[in-house]
Amino acid sequence: VPKTRTQLDRDEKVAAIVDAARRRLLDGGYESLSVVGIARELGVAQNAVYWYFPTKDHLFVAAVDAILRDIFDRKPRSGPVVDRVVWVVDRLQELQPLRVTMRDRAARSEVIAAYEREVLELFRLLLVGALGDDVDDVDDTVELLVAVCEGILLRELSRPRRVRLVRESYRRLVSG
Amino acid sequence: VPKTRTQLDRDEKVAAIVDAARRRLLDGGYESLSVVGIARELGVAQNAVYWYFPTKDHLFVAAVDAILRDIFDRKPRSGPVVDRVVWVVDRLQELQPLRVTMRDRAARSEVIAAYEREVLELFRLLLVGALGDDVDDVDDTVELLVAVCEGILLRELSRPRRVRLVRESYRRLVSG
DNA sequence: ACCTGAACACCGTTCAAGT
DNA sequence: ACCTGAACACCGTTCAAGT
């Protein structure tokens, strides 16, 4: 699809807003993600952002999506499955506060809830694909593996202990 | 300690505030827990609550604590450990949105973070006590069991599936 | 000791109006 | 199509003042 000049302008403006949102989210969390604040930062009227994003929730989703895509693009495509799981868990640990916020907001916003489901399903599919036919009851195993990883992330342990527990879980749940 | 009449009055007022807070928290979550709203509900000035609770976070902690104590008082004291774990997980599932909010708020409030640590430590101790000497590496096993339960709670599964996964985890992680 | 009245700074969001 | 100006309702919190 060929893009018109105005379309490119629009994309740039949206990108500028999402960029500001992403930076604020990573710096100070959800409470730093202020629609009014971003508008001030970009030097426009405080309600200008609403032309591009109908609610703050939509902007939140766009910002989180940008963050997750960056990670997804850098993820290792080969190597032992358990190593790749550890890699992903490491990245997610850095984003843990943000993920907790998303979980919390999902209870109040269908937009965020839908996005969260989408992301989780992607993760599940990747994991099912990676485990392949190495395991009997794929669904339960994946469910438990995701669950234990989420639980470990919640603990916010030191990296050595976290890695050890992930490997130990993998051993006991998958190749045990 | 003998209590004076004024002390009893004070306790009643505090109880009324905490009760309103608890009800709001269970009904509509954190965003329904409005200091101003509670004051209106009790028919006092909108800042009157601040005499008893220095910040909204303190009130939040008091309300959550009241909720958790109710559960704690009803918990089964005997029976197979795995059954008791299932019972607690069932109760916590009902409170899951609240727990997620607490987790989220803990990143912004040291008061809430401290309370959360306190609760978690209590859980850990109860579990260590319950598992007793049935297991070799108690610390890791408890850590993994708590982690997998947290992860399962996060999934918000149907009760049958949740119970099945908890039992399955217990089997594989503890008595496996 | 306990509470009120009034204010402050900040929000997300809406709407009519301009270009 | 895109943005501004001005407003609305709501917040947590502070502070001086009253009883």
Q: What is the pLDDT of chain A when averaged over all its residues?
A: 93
* CA proximity to A14, closest of A72, A62, A64, A71: A62
Contact A108 B29 (CB under 8 A): yes
Whole-angstrom distance, CA of residue B18 vs CA of residue B20: 5
Residue A3's pLDDT is 74
Transcribe chain A into DSSP letters: ----HHHHHHHHHHHHHHHHHHHHHHHH-GGG--HHHHHHHHTS-TTGGGGT-SSHHHHHHHHHHHHHHHHHHHS--SS-HHHHHHHHHHHHHHTHHHHHHHHHHHTT-HHHHHHHHHHHHHHHHHHHHHHTTS-SSHHHHHHHHHHHHHHHHHHT--HHHHHHHHHHHHHHHT--
In this predicted structure, the answer to whether residue B19 has a pLDDT above a threshold of 70 is yes
User: Chain D bases under 7 Å from protein CB?
Assistant: 1-7, 10-15
Q: What is the pLDDT of chain B when averaged over all its residues?
A: 93
Nearest by CB to B144, which of A30, A101, A148?
Answer: A148
In this predicted structure, the answer to whether residue B54 has a pLDDT above a threshold of 70 is yes
Tokens 């269970």 correspond to what residue?
B26
Cα of A53 to nearest chain B Cα, Å: 22
Transcribe B121-163 into DSSP letters: HHHHHHHHHHHTTS-SSHHHHHHHHHHHHHHHHHHT--HHHHH
- Quote the DSSP letter at residue B34: -
pTM, two decimals, is: 0.92
Residue B139's pLDDT is 87
Q: With bands split at pLDDT 50, 70 and 90, how would you rate the model's confidence at B135?
A: confident
Q: With bands split at pLDDT 50, 70 and 90, how would you rate the model's confidence at A130?
A: confident
User: Chain C bases under 7 Å from protein CB?
Assistant: 1-7, 10-15
pLDDT in tens, B104-127: 999 999 999 999 999 999 999 999
Q: With bands split at pLDDT 50, 70 and 90, how would you rate the model's confidence at B2?
A: low
- Residues in A closer than 8 angstroms to B107, CB to CB, are 29, 97, 100
Nearest by CB to A172, which of B107, B165, B176?
Answer: B176
Report yes or no: B17 and B52 within 8 Å, Cβ to Cβ. yes
Q: With bands split at pLDDT 50, 70 and 90, how would you rate the model's confidence at B132?
A: confident
Residue B137's pLDDT is 86
Residue B1's pLDDT is 60
Q: How much is the average pLDDT of A117-125?
A: 94
Residue A132's pLDDT is 79
Report yes or no: A25 and A64 within 8 Å, Cβ to Cβ. yes
Q: What are phi and psi of B2, to 5 degrees?
A: -70, 140
The number of residues in chain B equals 176
